[in-house]
Amino acid sequence: MPEHDNGVVRVGSYSVDKDTVERLIAWHGSEALRLPAGDGSAVRWALRQATLRALAAPPRVACQWRDVDLLGTGEGPWTLVFRGEVAEYAETVLHGDVSLSVTTGASRITAHAVLTRAGTTRPSPRDPSPRGPFPRGPLPRETEVLR
């Protein structure tokens, strides 16, 4: 059975002005955006949005950005945790790893999420085994992806 090579599947990028995120937090509160007030909030927001773009999530899933959690400090390393509908969608498209990177400027944060494919065997039509690293059975309520 042929093996897929490791390689980049998709890249998602998102750039945001730090002051804009701080204004959103001041207006809506940190809990509404699920972001801590302070320096790392723009980084977390940009990483969430870049990840949703890399997943190529349809609008009904992408609007569930609260289902993407980011564990770790502002400097990284970060761990992505998907919940709910985002976790279900990620299970169908994620067959490898998500690499995260952040570039900071004077007032801008730019985040990149790169989806890579692990060298997994493509299932044959006669083999009903699931694709990727996810077990058979009901969809998980949370899917964790390490950086």
The CATH number of the domain holding residue 111 is: 3.90.470.20
Domain that holds residue 47: 7-121
**Count of structural domains, the chain:** 1
Whether residue 133 lies inside any domain: the answer is: no
Of residues 10, 62, 80, 65, the one with CA closest to residue 34 = 65
Whether residue 63 lies inside any domain: the answer is: yes
pLDDT digits (tens, 9 = 90+) for 47-79: 989 999 999 888 888 788 788 888 877 677 888
Whether residue 101 lies inside any domain: the answer is: yes
Whether residue 70 lies inside any domain: the answer is: yes
95: burial class by Cβ within 10 Å (0-12, 13-18, 19+)?
middle
Q: What is the pLDDT of residue 146?
A: 52
Whether residue 142 lies inside any domain: the answer is: no
DSSP code for 106: S
Residue ranges in the chain whose pLDDT is less than 50: 1-3, 121-141
Whether residue 141 lies inside any domain: the answer is: no
Q: What is the pLDDT of residue 76?
A: 74
Q: What is the pLDDT of residue 145?
A: 56
Whether residue 139 lies inside any domain: the answer is: no
CA dist 25 and 15 (Å) reads 17
Provide φ and ψ at 51, rounded to 5°.
-65, -45
